[in-house]
Amino acid sequence: MPLAGRHVVLGVSGGIACYKSCMLVRRLLEDGATVEVVMTAGAAEFVRPLTFEALTGRKVLASLWERDHALAHIGLAKTPDLIILAPATAQLLARAAQGQADDLLTALLLARTGPVLCAPAMNDAMYAHPATQANIKTLAQRGWRFVGPETGPLAEGPSERQGRMSEPETILAAAQRLLAPAGRWQGRTVVVTAGPTREHLDPVRVITNPSSGRMGIALSEAAWTRGAEVILIVGPTDLPLPSGVKAVRVETTADMQRAVQAVMKGADALIMAAAPADYRPLESAPTKRPRANGRISVQLEATPDILTSLKRPKGCVMVGFALETGDGLAKAQQKLQDKRLDFVVLNDALEPGAGFAVATNKVTILRKDGAPVELPLLPKRDVAERILDAVEQALT
Ligand code: CTP
């Protein structure tokens, strides 16, 4: 539980995105945080305080005048590890930027010296307005961190516009990163590859594999929340990518090789969770091949082996995956040596709940020095955390 023992005050202001704040409270609690909710009068028009009280088991605070002592806002400003504002409306940003203290939430923000994480949500024109942009700039210069707003359908209609509050999972990841203990990950660059690659037979037909990218995406998010700078090099996938990581989309194995090589110079760790296609057609037709009856033959050639081709910076921790069918321990051990890796994560494509396109994985982590560690069946995010624990030990 990354937020165990942490005290979070969630400030909720009056926008339709309030309904998502209820889910955010649940996720913060599940992660081990103690959560107190402070609402503006506008927020209470959208969601009743009772909802937050039922979720947190604590009284919602809304007024400067109703607490049993006059300095409640000072205590609330000083004690929490983090104040999250979600949603933060244009009006809340304006009042905070001006230093107003006309209700409990703005008063405690004025007294706050510790971290504030702000998730704006508003109409796109209000967000784009120079006044709002100036307020955000002012608050960022004072040390506030921002997550979102994102582009998507707003309350007024389905067209894509910027102003949507980030999803609870995204806000939670940003909170985890802000509260990550200072350690080995800050200032480190981690390169992660994810997903399949595609090799074209013609413009509409490809050779690929069923990898979804889920394991690599989970690794990239876990490394980002630990405090690292993360570059995610990802083949074709429909899954959403974590907002904090720098994503580079690629299609073929050769594209992936180029993209990885381009960022290896500054890398402290490379985690090759992708399943690059091993073969490509010797010739790719420039236009669609007409359907022909009977058999056709396609000549294939091997794609480059990315891991063995890379120039590695000194001290870069190298992690490969080995997807095998049946007893793969010996083959994975061989890959550890042949590809000169620090770790190989072995998973069995035939094992239920492991391998491609499922939410869980069952892996064994083989190490350059030391005995293999077999993990139970776990959600991919938990597998990612265990892999990063191993990488953390190896970072010099
Ligand atoms: N890999 C790579 N370049 C490729 C294919 C795979 O760098 N062209 C990486 C994968 O990302 C993984 C590791 O090599 O981290 C092992 O991949 P895997 O598919 O298990 O093995 P292969 O090297 O392709 O060998 P084989 O298919 O014979 O098992």
For residue 308, give both structure tokens: 């063995």
What's the confidence (pLDDT) of residue 354?
Answer: 79
Q: What is the dihedral of CA 110, 115, 121, 122, to 10 degrees?
A: 40
Catalytic residue status for 209: yes
**CATH 3.40.50.1950 residue window(s) in the chain:** 7-179
User: What global pTM score does this model have?
Assistant: 0.88
- Give the angle 385-389-390 at the CA atoms, nearest 5°: 120
- How confident is the prediction along the chain (396 residues), in pLDDT tens digits per residue? 789 999 999 999 999 999 999 999 999 999 999 999 999 999 999 999 999 999 999 999 887 777 555 667 777 888 899 999 999 999 999 999 999 999 999 999 999 999 999 999 999 999 999 999 999 999 999 999 999 899 887 777 767 888 999 999 999 999 999 999 888 899 999 999 999 999 999 999 999 999 999 999 999 999 999 999 999 999 999 999 998 899 999 999 999 999 999 999 999 999 999 999 999 999 998 999 888 788 888 999 999 999 999 998 999 999 999 999 877 899 999 999 999 999 999 998 888 877 777 888 899 999 998 899 999 999 999 999 999 999 999 998
Considering the domain 7-179 in this protein, what is its CATH number? Answer: 3.40.50.1950
> Percent helix, strand, coil in the chain (nearest 5)?
35, 25, 40
Q: How far is the CA of 305 from the centre of ligand 1 (A)?
A: 7
Residue with the smallest CA separation from ligand 1 atom 8 is: 305
**CATH 3.40.50.10300 residue window(s) in the chain:** 189-394
Who contacts 281 (Cβ-Cβ below 8 Å, separation ≥6)? 199, 200, 201, 207, 298, 299, 300, 301
* Structural class in CATH, domain 189-394: alpha beta
* Burial of 214 (C-beta count, 10 Å sphere; 0-12/13-18/19+): buried
End-to-end alpha carbon distance in the chain: 26
User: Which one of 278, 317, 333, 338 would you pick to mutate in the ligand 1 pocket, going by the greatest count of ligand atoms within 8 A of its CB?
Assistant: 278
Q: How far is the CA of 320 from the centre of ligand 1 (A)?
A: 8
User: Which one of 305, 324, 346, 363 would you pick to mutate in the ligand 1 pocket, going by the greatest count of ligand atoms within 8 A of its CB?
Assistant: 305
Indicate which residue of 135, 209, 347, 361 is catalytic. 209
